[in-house]
């Protein structure tokens, strides 16, 4: 048992060149064993060609005690060393040589200075004038801009950089707090480690229902990111019910979901398939184009609802229930509907502004929009990704957060069961 965790501190941090080797010492704290943080760090060092020496380690005796380790990293060149330090810092390893974050003024608008610090989606702090301050608007694959007047910092996208902005470079004075696994194994985590079609689905769906229910009760914001399979599979009534009962507070989708939803209201079909009869004959493939045309003639979705042209469906319910919706364009869109934001950067910025208060995100049957939103969300927002195609779920799971759960299942029966489970939870709640 290791108690005297500070006993070796007097060895002093080891940094610099030692007999032709480049060395730096990092420390890491938290549930570093059971959240696999320490193994990942050691793995990263070796994989990048470095050598590690564990200088000090103290492992909590039980699950409730956090652990602590000091690791010396050795590499063949200063560049290799800094690359390794950069990588392990994403797992929460911080140099023991503490210093303030270093900034360089942006010399060009729309680009970072070389050597910029590239953010993760984990909670991050930087050291300014000897104090650690939280980085705002956390988002992966951004830079960090410092406001020296307010001693604050925030993430900033490359395209937003303006000339002269002080941008953090290097890893000095930056520390990351990886989301650890929670002390108690939460039901929500149950599918964490694996994507499989062969899991008890009823349990999974019930837990997602509980999460949605809790989000509503707690005044959280639930975001639905959805693809057109929601319409094609006949799931519109379930999503409408979720909206009407306040379980969905925002909707991000593309032209296709909205178009086929509207097509169903106007023509009773989705991609020409009669949803009530399941009649799959090639009928009405033009319907989606006529639906778009009619909404364009009306001036948009909201005007079409107000004019009584659009009378049911997901988009109708969004308008009626004041659910914020954002339709982002893509190059395969027909039309598109007038509401679609066709510029990808504008759409990204609009999504970015909208997700700030999202506490739970349900992604259904869309790879493009799910990955786009996954890129914007901080690691601590709970995400459930549902798709019948395992590859979408695998891609989202690569996000690597303990807060992301993948479920390989079919959209319509999933939503049907989800609505049923929510009704039962409401009945119990009353």
87 to 116, contacts with a copy of itself by CB under 8 A? 87, 90, 108, 110-112, 114, 116
Q: For residue 227, give the 3-state DSSP assignment.
A: coil
Q: Whose Cβ is closer to a copy of itself: residue 8's or residue 97's?
A: 8
Q: Which C-beta is closer to a copy of itself: that of 359 or that of 367?
A: 367
Is 314 a binder of a copy of itself (CB under 8 A)? no
CA distance 210 to 409: 18
For the bound state, the minimum distance from the C-beta of residue 219 to a copy of itself, rounded and expressed in Å, comes to 27
* Residue 336: cis peptide before it, omega within 30 degrees of 0: yes
- CA dist 288 and 334 (Å) reads 9
Spatial contact of 273 and 285, defined as CB atoms under 8 Å apart: no
For position 308 contacting a copy of itself by CB under 8 A, the verdict is no
Q: Does 185 bind a copy of itself (CB under 8 A)?
A: yes
**Under rule CB under 8 A, residue 148 binds a copy of itself:** no
How far apart are CB 25 and a copy of itself at their closest, in Å? Answer: 12
**Spatial CA neighbour of 327 closest among 307, 353, 350, 356:** 350
SS (HEC) of 383-396: EEEEECCHHHHHHH
Please state the closest distance from residue 247 (CB atom) to a copy of itself, in A. 18
Radius of gyration of the chain (CA): 25
Q: Which residues pair with 223 in a beta bridge?
A: 250, 361
Q: Does 53 bind a copy of itself (CB under 8 A)?
A: yes
**Residue pair 292/265 in contact by the 8 Å Cβ criterion:** no
Contact pick of 414, 419, 422, 425 for a copy of itself (by CB under 8 A): 414
Nearest distance from C-beta of residue 105 to a copy of itself, angstroms: 14
| Shorter beta-carbon distance to a copy of itself: residue 77 or 151 | 77
Q: Which stretch binds a copy of itself (CB under 8 A): 79-87, 216-224, 240-248, 306-314?
A: 79-87
Query: Which secondary-structure segment (H or E) carries 141?
Result: none
CB atoms within 10 A of CB 283: 14
Phi, psi of 329 (to 5 degrees): -80, 160
Of residues 217 through 276, those in contact with a copy of itself by CB under 8 A are 228-229, 232-234, 270-271, 273, 275-276
Contacts with a copy of itself by CB under 8 A: the residue count is: 119
Q: Cβ closer to a copy of itself: 48 or 133?
A: 48
C-alpha dihedral sign at 393, 243, 275, 226? negative
Pick 34 or 321: Cβ nearer a copy of itself: 34
In the complex with a copy of itself, which residue's Cβ is closer, 152 or 237?
237
User: Shortest Cβ distance from residue 266 to a copy of itself (Å)?
Assistant: 12
Whole-number Å distance between alpha carbons of 102 and 169: 6
Burial of 42 (0-12, 13-18, 19+ CB in 10 A): middle
**329 belongs to the binding site for a copy of itself (CB under 8 A):** yes
Q: How far apart are CA 315 and CA 327, in angstroms?
A: 11
Q: How far is the CB of 53 from a copy of itself (least distance, A)?
A: 5
Q: Is 281 in the site for a copy of itself (CB under 8 A)?
A: yes
**Of the residues 164, 200, 246, 429, which one makes contact with a copy of itself according to CB under 8 A:** 200
Residue from 123, 127, 245, 294 binding a copy of itself (CB under 8 A): 294
Closest CA to 261 of 305, 197, 222, 218: 305
Residues 362-391 that bind a copy of itself (CB under 8 A): 367-369, 371-372, 375, 388-391
Q: Does 284 bind a copy of itself (CB under 8 A)?
A: yes
């Amino acid at each position: 048992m290791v108690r005297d965790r500070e006993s070796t501190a007097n060895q002093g941090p080891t940094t610099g060149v030692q007999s032709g080797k480049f060395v730096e010492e990092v420390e890491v704290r938290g549930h570093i064993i059971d959240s696999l943080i320490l193994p990942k760090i050691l793995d990263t060092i070796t994989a990048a060609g470095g050598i590690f020496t564990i200088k000090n380690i103290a492992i909590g005796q039980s699950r409730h005690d956090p652990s602590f380790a000091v690791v010396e990293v050795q590499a063949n060149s200063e560049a290799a060393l800094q690359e390794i330090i950069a990588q392990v810092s994403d797992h929460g390893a911080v140099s023991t040589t503490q210093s303030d974050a270093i900034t360089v003024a942006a010399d060009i608008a729309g680009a970072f200075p070389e050597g910029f610090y590239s953010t993760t989606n984990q909670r991050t702090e930087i050291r300014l004038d000897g104090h650690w301050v939280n980085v705002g608007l956390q988002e992966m694959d951004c830079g960090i801009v410092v406001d020296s007047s307010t001693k604050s910092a925030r993430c900033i996208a490359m395209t937003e950089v303006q000339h002269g902005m002080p941008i953090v470079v290097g890893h000095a004075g930056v520390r990351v707090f990886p989301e650890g696994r929670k002390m108690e194994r939460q039901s929500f985590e149950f599918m964490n480690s694996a994507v499989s079609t062969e899991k008890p689905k009823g349990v999974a769906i019930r837990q997602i229902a509980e999460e949605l229910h809790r989000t509503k009760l707690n005044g959280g914001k639930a975001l639905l990111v959805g693809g057109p399979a929601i319409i094609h599979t006949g799931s519109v009534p379930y999503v409408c019910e979720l909206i009407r009962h306040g379980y969905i507070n925002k909707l991000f989708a593309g032209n296709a979901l909205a178009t086929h939803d509207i097509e169903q209201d106007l023509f009773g079909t989705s991609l020409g398939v009669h949803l009530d009869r399941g009649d799959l004959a090639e009928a009405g493939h033009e319907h989606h184009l006529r639906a778009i045309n009619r909404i364009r003639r009306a001036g948009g979705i909201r005007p079409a609802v107000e004019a009584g042209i659009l009378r049911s469906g997901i988009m109708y319910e969004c308008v009626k229930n004041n659910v914020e919706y954002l339709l982002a364009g893509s190059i395969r869109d027909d039309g598109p509907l007038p509401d679609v934001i066709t510029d990808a950067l504008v759409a990204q910025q609009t999504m970015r502004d909208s997700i700030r208060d999202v506490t739970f995100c349900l992604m259904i049957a869309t790879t493009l929009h799910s990955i786009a939103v996954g890129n914007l969300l901080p690691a601590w927002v709970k995400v459930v990704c549902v798709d019948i195609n395992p590859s979408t779920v695998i891609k989202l799971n690569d996000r690597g957060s303990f807060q992301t759960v993948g479920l390989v299942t079919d959209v319509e029966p999933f939503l049907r069961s989800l609505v049923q489970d929510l009704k039962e939870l409401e009945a119990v709640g009353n």
